[in-house]
Every structure is written in C-alpha cells, then in structure tokens.
C-alpha cells in the first residue's frame, strides 16, 4: 500500500514538473529595469513598455523602477539573473560602470537589450541590440534650428553678433546629456552662438527651475537663448524666467528636446520656440525584438527611432495628435 502511494505521488510530481516547465516555456519572461519617473518622457516610455507587454499574452514582464540610481538598476538586473528570466532589457541611467553585471548576465546566457540609452563598455558582445534615438543628431537639430531662426525671432535688425546661450544639461554621465551637448556644440562651433553657462538640471522640472534661477542670478538679461536637453527642464526654467520678470520665448529664445505634450502647450502660449522630437514609444519595437530574439533571429546591433523637429508655428495644429 505504502509503495502504491509512493508511485502515485511520484507520478503526480513528475506530471506537475512537466506541466510547470511547459507553462514556463509558453511565456517569454522579460526583466526590464527602468531609470525612474524623472520626466514626462520617462512616464510615457514606461506606459509604452507596460501596455505593450500586457497586449502580448505570451510575454511576462517583470518591471523594476530604479529611482534614478545606478545601484538600484544593478540590483534589479542581478535579481533578474537569479530568477532566470529569458531576456533582460534596461535603460541605463549613466553610460559607464556596467561591465561586471553585464558579464554576469552573459555568463548566465541571458541576452541583454539596451532600450533608449547606450552603455560605454569595451566588449559589445555584452549586449545584443541598442534601440532608441540618435541623441547626437537631436543636439545637431536643436543647434541648426536655432542658427536658422534666431535672427528672425530676436535679432531682426542683426544688431548683435554674439548670442549668449545657457545650457541645461541632462543627468551627469547619461548618454543623452553627453550626446545632446556634443551635437549642439558640433554645429554651433565657430558661430555667433556661445554657451556662457552650462549645468545639469538632471532632466527634472524642479532642477531645471533651480539651475535657471542661478543662471539668471549671475547672467541676468545677458541671456539670449536657453538650450535645454529636455522639455521638463525647459518647463521648469520658464517658471524661473517669468519669476525673474522676463518673457520666455521672447526675451529668451528656448529650444529643447523630447516634444512632450507640455512642450506643445508651452509653444502654443509662445513660451517655447522649438522642440526636437525624441520618441519614448519604444514598447512595440522592444517586444518585437524580444520575440525575434527568442525565435532565433539575428537582431541589428542598432535600431534607430525616426523623429522630427517641431517649431512653435506648427504647435497648435500638431498638439491634438501627440500621443505623449
Ligand atoms: O530625453 C529625458 C528623460 O533618455 C531620451 O531621459 C531619454 C531622456 C529624455 O528623462 O526627458
């Protein structure tokens, strides 16, 4: 009798194990480590990833928010490795310092997809593909728009030959801050546009306001242009400019990057002059890549997002169609 019971128990256990592994195979488990919720862009990016995962029944998403700290991202990735997820994707808050954890993922044979931001590692076999925008190009677009439109907006009599620009940089050490700075500097090099102050506002509205207040305190009416690495910092800076008694978009020309809804609203009010698009809607292409990868297809090393430039004159018409 005892023996029979044992046989039944063993058979049951074996059945459960097979069913369990079949179930596990049914779903592709993806661990995603997000930076945080520092900007409207980031919130839209999270929405895109979470809602796309929900719409694909065979995807199981494990989502982790790092509250803008690299150490939290590293912890999350380690926990994805120990849970044995099928794919790890993440948006690295800064470029450097990822080698050890990426090597651990490689040793565990878990492919890694970089979403939105790149990493700076010697060995590019540590990640499979990098999808997202060309941030250097965004910086160039902001600079080019400024050089083509500044005289029309603020210098119609061509009386001044030096234009004083202040720059609000993104998070120190992050790919978009480094690249957007470089792209803008590259196209404005040797021109009338001179950066007189440049500091990080950490991609947030509150910091953008605080740093703009400091710029105004030291440079005052000398400031002709604000170049902000994202719209949230530009929106914070607008408040600082108004509190200082100047007109954003008129006394100080403002060009920023992201093209989120809040920037379109500010453009309609004449407070931002141009925003360069950076799309956060990466969910669909992320999970397409995950599925291709699991189906054994080879992915391109770089997947670039298609984006445009929106001057204030087009804002009212475009605003209703914006998805983020
Ligand atoms: O521009 C900014 C965000 O990495 C492209 O991060 C992204 C940037 C985006 O917080 O608003």
The domain spans of the chain are 27-133+280-306, 135-278
pLDDT tens-digit readout, 212-269: 999 999 999 999 999 999 999 999 999 999 999 999 999 999 999 999 999 999 999 9
Q: Which of 33, 38, 40, 42 to mutate to test the pocket of ligand 1 (most atoms within 8 A of CB)?
A: 42
CA of 203 to the centre of ligand 1 (A): 7
d(CA 321, CA 318): 6
CATH of domain 27-133+280-306: 3.40.50.2300
What are 33's two structure tokens? 């480590």
227 three-class SS: strand
Query: Does domain 135-278 correspond to CATH entry 3.40.50.2300?
Result: yes
CA distances from 106 to 17, 63, 296 (A): 27, 20, 17
19 three-class SS: helix
Find the radius of gyration of the CA atoms of the chain: 24
Q: Residue 21 CB: number of other CB atoms within 10 A?
A: 10
Whether 135-278 and 27-133+280-306 are alike in CATH topology: the answer is yes
Nearest atom in ligand 1 to the alpha carbon of residue 203 is: 10
CA of 1 to the centre of ligand 1 (A): 67
Ligand 1, residues at Cβ distance < 6 Å: 38-39, 41-42, 116-117, 176, 203, 230, 232, 257-258, 278
Nearest atom in ligand 1 to the alpha carbon of residue 257 is: 1
Phi-psi region of 106 (alpha: psi -120 to 50; beta: other; left: phi over 0): alpha
pLDDT tens-digit readout, 113-169: 999 999 999 999 999 999 999 999 999 999 999 999 999 999 888 888 899 999 999
CA of 296 to the centre of ligand 1 (A): 31
Are 168 and 204 in contact, with CB atoms under 8 Å apart? no
């Amino acid at each position: 009798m005892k023996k029979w019971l044992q046989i039944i128990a063993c058979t049951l256990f074996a059945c459960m194990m097979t069913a369990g592994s079949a179930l596990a195979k049914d779903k592709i488990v993806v661990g995603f480590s997000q930076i945080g919720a520092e900007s409207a862009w980031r919130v839209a990016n999270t929405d895109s990833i979470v809602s796309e995962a929900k719409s694909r029944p065979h995807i199981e998403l494990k989502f982790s928010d790092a509250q803008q700290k690299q150490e939290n991202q590293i912890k999350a990735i380690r926990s994805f490795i120990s849970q044995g997820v099928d794919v790890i994707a993440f948006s690295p808050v800064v470029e450097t310092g990822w080698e050890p954890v990426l090597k651990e993922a490689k040793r565990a044979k878990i492919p890694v997809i970089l979403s939105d931001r790149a990493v700076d590692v010697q060995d590019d076999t540590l990640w499979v593909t990098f999808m997202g925008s060309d941030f250097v190009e965004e910086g160039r677009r902001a600079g080019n728009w400024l050089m083509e439109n500044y005289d029309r907006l603020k210098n119609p009599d061509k009386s001044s030959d030096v234009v004083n620009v202040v720059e609000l940089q993104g998070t120190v050490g992050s790919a978009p801050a480094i690249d957007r700075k470089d792209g803008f500097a590259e196209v404005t090099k040797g021109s009338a546009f001179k950066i007189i102050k440049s500091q990080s506002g950490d991609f947030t509205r509150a910091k953008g306001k605080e740093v703009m207040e400091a710029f105004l305190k030291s440079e005052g009416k000398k400031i002709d242009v604000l170049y902000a690495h994202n719209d949230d910092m530009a929106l914070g800076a607008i408040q600082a400019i108004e509190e200082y008694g100047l007109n954003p978009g008129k006394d100080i020309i403002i060009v920023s990057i992201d093209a989120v809804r809040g920037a379109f609203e500010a453009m309609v009010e004449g407070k931002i002059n141009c925003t360069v698009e950076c799309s956060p809607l990466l969910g669909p292409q992320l999970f397409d890549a995950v599925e291709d990868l699991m189906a054994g297809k080879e992915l391109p090393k770089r997947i670039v997002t298609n984006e445009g430039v929106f001057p204030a004159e087009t804002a009212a018409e475009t605003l209703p169609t914006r998805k983020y």
